[in-house]
Amino acid sequence: MRQFFIIISIIFVIFLAGCVQKPTKPEIQFKNDVVTIENLIVDTTAPYSENKVNIEFDIQSNADRVIPQITVNFFDIPGFSEPSLDCGLNNAKIDDRICRYNQLESLDSIHVRMTLKANKVESPTPFVVSFSVEYSYNGMREAVIPVINPLIRKEPSFKFSQSEPTVGPILFEIQPLLEREKIVGDKTIKEYWAIKDQEFTTKFVLKDVGTIKNVLPINIPNGLVGLSDLINLEKGEICDFSGTSSMGIPSTKPVNKTFDTLICTFKPKSNQDEFTGIIKINYTYTYEFIRSVNFVVQPSLK
């Protein structure tokens, strides 16, 4: 009987072990702030004259793909001298103030350390040390527009849709000026659809969805936004895109805080009485932000 209970106990333990679920790995969360400064450490913010102080941090990638280039630049170090910069990678050091990385893999990080010598002061003196982080990135957006022949159909069988923005702080909203109102019961529903062979205007509106502070003004030069794909649509004469390039049909105007919208007219063309018009854009941009550390340099102890 004792052996029977031992066998039963062993079987029960095995059963419980089989029921215990293995811990699941946390889901990877990419961020629109694709580059961030993490683990910023300063030896002291009140160094004595002619003593050295270290500023170190991690450059963290939160991107869903490779970041093609990142530059860290200690452009402002008043009150200090003899800068000594460790970029984490030997070939990344440009000089004693600048690190430049040809690429950073998704979710990877690199450690940076700057060593500075405090200048001589006669009384406690405040100084601010600043550095910038600049990187290049790209994005894509696509809009699917219903188009109908009004002689055959009163409304389309599917709805306007826009793809989710790619990961990154900069995105473009594709806004076809095709808003129509439909009353269903006591509700007014807004819909967007085009009419075959009838030209319409579309806006491409720049938006910064990053959360980092002290970002330099965004400027995307001519040609770095492109219409990479047009399906069942012809580009009209009024358009901020023209020519051909690796971007497709490149933009002819810069996009920045002052001029944050590109405009283009399109005419739906197809032999069908209901069809899909597709607009796809891609864009490349530079993003730069500044971090600062406040110091109060102390006179040497006598």
The DSSP line for 6-21 is HHHHHHHHHHHHHHSP
Q: What is residue 118's three-state secondary structure?
A: strand
Q: What average pLDDT values come out for the chain (302 residues) when binned by 10 residues?
A: 48 47 57 97 97 98 97 96 95 96 96 97 97 97 97 94 96 96 83 96 97 96 94 97 93 92 97 97 97 96 72
Short-list 150, 293, 131, CA closest to 216: 131
- Same domain? For 44 and 121 the reply is yes
Same domain, 170 and 268: yes
294: CB partners within 8 A, 6+ apart: 45, 126, 127, 128
Residue 188 counted as domain residue: yes
Q: Are residues 79 and 48 in the same domain?
A: yes
- Is residue 30, in this structure, part of any structural domain at all? no
Looking at the structure, do residues 149 and 248 belong to the same domain, yes or no?
yes
Provide the pLDDT for residue 5: 47
The answer to whether residue 52 is domain-embedded is: yes
Cα gap 301→46, rounded to integer Å: 13
**Other beta carbons less than 10 A from residue 288's beta carbon:** 15
pLDDT at 27: 54
Q: Which two tokens stand for residue 253?
A: 């105007």
Domain contains 84:
yes
Structure tokens at 17: 């072990």
2: in domain? no
Go through the chain and tell me how many residues it has: 302
Helix (H, G, I), strand (E, B) or coil at 91: helix
| 61 and 106, same domain (yes or no) | yes
In a domain, 1, yes or no: no
126 and 149 share a domain? no
The stretches of the chain forming alpha helices (DSSP H) are: 2-19
- Tell me which residue has tokens 């957006």: 141
Q: How far apart are CA 28 and CA 252, in angstroms?
A: 38
Tokens of 254: 């810069």
Predicted local confidence at residue 28, as pLDDT: 56
- For residue 227, being part of any structural domain is answered with yes
Do 132 and 157 lie in a common domain?
no
CA distance 79 to 130: 12
Instruction: Please check whether residues 121 and 181 belong to one and the same domain.
Output: no
E strands, the chain, are 35-42, 52-61, 69-76, 80-86, 98-101, 109-118, 125-148, 161-162, 170-176, 179-184, 187-192, 194-195, 200-208, 219-220, 225-231, 233-239, 249-250, 255-256, 261-268, 274-297
CATH number of the domain where residue 62 is located: 2.60.40.10
Q: Which domain holds residue 84?
A: 35-136+289-297
The span from the CA of 87 to the CA of 91, in Å, is 9
Rounded Cα distance between 116 and 86, Å, is: 12
Q: How many domains in the chain?
A: 2
**Residue 28 belongs to a domain:** no
Q: How far is CA 79 from the centre of its chain?
A: 34
**Residue 302: per-residue pLDDT:** 67
CA 60 to chain CA centroid, Å, is: 13
Residue 257, pLDDT score:
84
Report CA-CA distances (Å) from 249 to 20, 222, 226, 244, 259: 57, 11, 5, 5, 19
Are residues 160 and 84 part of one domain?
Answer: no
